[in-house]
Structure 1
Amino acid sequence: MSSPQRVALIGECMIELQEESGGLLRRTFGGDTLNTAVYLSRLLQAQPVQVDYVTALGDDPHSADMLSAWQAEGIKTGLVQQLKGRVPGLYMIQVDDTGERHFSYWRDTSAAKAYFEAGVTPLEAELAGIDVLYFSGISLAILPEAGRERLLQAATTLRARGGKVIFDNNYRPRLWRDATEARHWYQRAYAGCDIALITLDDDIAMAATPVSAEQALASALALPVAEVVVKQGGSDTIVRLAGQPPQSIKPTRVEKVVDTTAAGDSFGAGYVAARLTGHTPAQAAATGNTLAGTVIQHRGAIIATQAMPNIKL
């Protein structure tokens, strides 16, 4: 993939509350595609690539803080809508002794759900200047049906003029009416993207009938997508280009997992950053594994800048 000038990631950023000792809560911000945008911006800060985040926020102080935080990370916010009287969603993370996360959400009236209620959104108005569009299963899930249609139409329009579309299968069952609805929209997303980033556990969770990991992997690699990346947690990452045999890439060894929040999101950032700078899929998967392996050794979705691994692109 040649290096584009502008990458837009669409989704929802929420207020994140992390439970600390003594019942205290620490406020940060997070959301799957926003996490990816932050790490992507950090990795590409020395490259001629602009990273935009696409969402809707409210006119409240938390929304203003989010915008300031993104801008401080080098993320452009010109495609963000601020809606009067609306607020961001909120979630709380509790982490068990193994580093696994447990979430509680308050997001039913999140401003991000209303992004496509505008006659023409900033994303649609500036689509001709965007080279890569990145969205996830959560990006689709939070939108009403009309919004999903417009997002997929934007992806179709972008691809028709030579742009690239990347879809991450991040699946949260509680955001969908049922798995059948989710599969319908995922199939359409796969049919309209150039790179599919697939977490195998999520793929298994939304299958129509129980499937083994081997069956799910075979189905993922058979998708009608030019570039498929299958993430398997602590097992090998599998990458497949159309017409070529799959390749296996070893994960990064981690002695102690502290918090798996944003593991897949950071992997996506590492993978995309490497592909945008001319690296092969196998090299990109190794980069994604390196970044994810670092992120899961820290608390929260976004690690401190000084904790970032030394990744050369």
Structure 2
Amino acid sequence: MTGEETICCAGEVMVELAPAAGERLYQQGFAGDTFNTAVYLARAGLQVRYLTRLGDDALSSAALAQMRLEGVDTDSVAISPGRVPGLYMISNDEQGERQFSYWRSASPARELFDTVPEVSPPDVFYFSGITLAVTAAGLDNLVAMLEQLRSRGTRIAFDPNYRPALWGERAMAQRHYLAVLPLCDMIFATSEDDALLWDIDDPSASQAFYREQGAAEVVIKGNGLTAYVSSEGEQYQSRADRVDAIDTTGAGDAFNAAYMAQRLCGAGIGESIAHAQALSARVVQHRGAIIPRDE
């Protein structure tokens, strides 16, 4: 791995409304779990493109402009005429923990896998459980695309990012996850999500589960700020220092980006975890999913 690898991230770009300094004031931006990761990968100097669908309205044009400003290639962004992107609003408690309200039922990203997208094979393809949920009707086409990419040497990275509200029932989510997991080389999971989705509440058991599905490298973000990594028979564990959080939105997405960026640039697992935890800690001290470029 040289750091010159190409990465394609797939998912949904949404309009983000994050609390601002004043009461009942919000700042508008663009975010989405895999999009956040794409931005932080690009800021780390990697070659990143984003696969999604947007509309032809002013907000979609602004989202495209933001991608280009961040150095994210937009050649894989398709346009759905007459459509507008989804929107979400962040609410935070006193500890900075976030809750979301969504308006995304007509998001054009839901149609991303209505057909099998033509994707020039990157070195790494990254998607998430939210990508899986919002495009659930296109599961067969997503699987076909992943199989095509793997056959041409692409490594698949996946963040399960399970959100029960996006699924009609847990059994449906499990069927979709089990369809894609055997195609994934790297997993970024959380103990919280694994407990909800698989009834697995131990990081070692989570690692064993994903290795059984075929993953070569498994990263578990456990409870208590501890990260656990299993790779090539080796086990790693690192606890992060606690910081005063303002908004936890995007912390996990940033963690994934920093970890992948370091690994793709040839860093060891211990160094990669340290960078991931450091960036995640910075993100939670800012409003919204993505730290402003001027900061």
TM-score interval, smaller chain: over 0.9
| Structure 2 counterpart SS, 1:22 | coil
- For residue 237 of structure 2, what is the aligned residue in structure 1? 248
- For residue 136 of structure 2, what is the aligned residue in structure 1? 144
What are the ranges of 5 or more consecutive residues in structure 2 without an aligned counterpart? none
- For residue 42 of structure 1, what is the aligned residue in structure 2? 43
| Structure 2 counterpart SS, 1:28 | strand
Larger displacement relative to structure 2 (224-233 or 6-15): 224-233
- What is the alpha-carbon distance in structure 1 between the residues aligned to residue 243 and residue 5 of structure 2? 38
- For residue 311 of structure 1, what is the aligned residue in structure 2? none
- For residue 64 of structure 1, what is the aligned residue in structure 2? 61
Question: Which of 271, 274, 296 is matched with 2:284 structurally?
Answer: 296
- For residue 234 of structure 1, what is the aligned residue in structure 2? 224
- What is the alpha-carbon distance in structure 1 between the residues aligned to residue 17 and residue 263 of structure 2? 33
Question: Where do residues 97-176 of structure 1 align in structure 2 (5 Å cutoff)?
Answer: 97-118=94-115, 121=117, 124=118, 126-128=119-121, 130-145=122-137, 147-176=138-167
Query: Deviation of residue 222 (structure 1)?
Result: 4.3
- What is the alpha-carbon distance in structure 2 between the residues aligned to residue 260 and residue 40 of structure 1? 19
- Supply the AA of the counterpart residue of 1:37: A
Question: Where do residues 167-206 of structure 1 align in structure 2 (5 Å cutoff)?
Answer: 167-206=158-197
Is this contact kept in 2: 1:275–1:281, CA < 8 A? yes
Is this contact kept in 2: 1:59–1:86, CA < 8 A? yes
- Supply the AA of the counterpart residue of 1:107: R
Is this contact kept in 2: 1:200–1:216, CA < 8 A? no
Is this contact kept in 2: 1:229–1:239, CA < 8 A? yes
- Length-normalised TM-score, structure 2: 0.93
Is this contact kept in 2: 1:2–1:276, CA < 8 A? yes
Is this contact kept in 2: 1:238–1:246, CA < 8 A? yes
- What is the alpha-carbon distance in structure 2 between the residues aligned to residue 196 and residue 180 of structure 1? 21
- What is the alpha-carbon distance in structure 2 between the residues aligned to residue 233 and residue 291 of structure 1? 18
Is this contact kept in 2: 1:191–1:225, CA < 8 A? yes
- For residue 245 of structure 2, what is the aligned residue in structure 1? 257
- What is the alpha-carbon distance in structure 1 between the residues aligned to residue 287 and residue 31 of structure 2? 12
Q: Over residues 94-114 of structure 1, what are the superposed CA-to-partner deviations in whole Å (9 max), with x where a residue is unaligned? A: 111110111111111101011
- What is the alpha-carbon distance in structure 2 between the residues aligned to residue 5 and residue 222 of structure 1? 24
- What is the alpha-carbon distance in structure 1 between the residues aligned to residue 25 and residue 255 of structure 2? 30
- For residue 268 of structure 1, what is the aligned residue in structure 2? 256
- What is the alpha-carbon distance in structure 2 between the residues aligned to residue 183 and residue 136 of structure 1? 14
- Supply the AA of the counterpart residue of 1:187: L
- For residue 93 of structure 1, what is the aligned residue in structure 2? 90
- Length-normalised TM-score, structure 1: 0.88
What are the ranges of 5 or more consecutive residues in structure 1 without an aligned counterpart? 308-313
Indicate the RMSD between aligned Cα atoms, in angstroms: 1.8
Number of aligned residues: 293
Q: Over residues 113-160 of structure 1, what are the superposed CA-to-partner deviations in whole Å (9 max), with x where a residue is unaligned? A: 112335x53xx2x334x2211000001100032x22222221121111
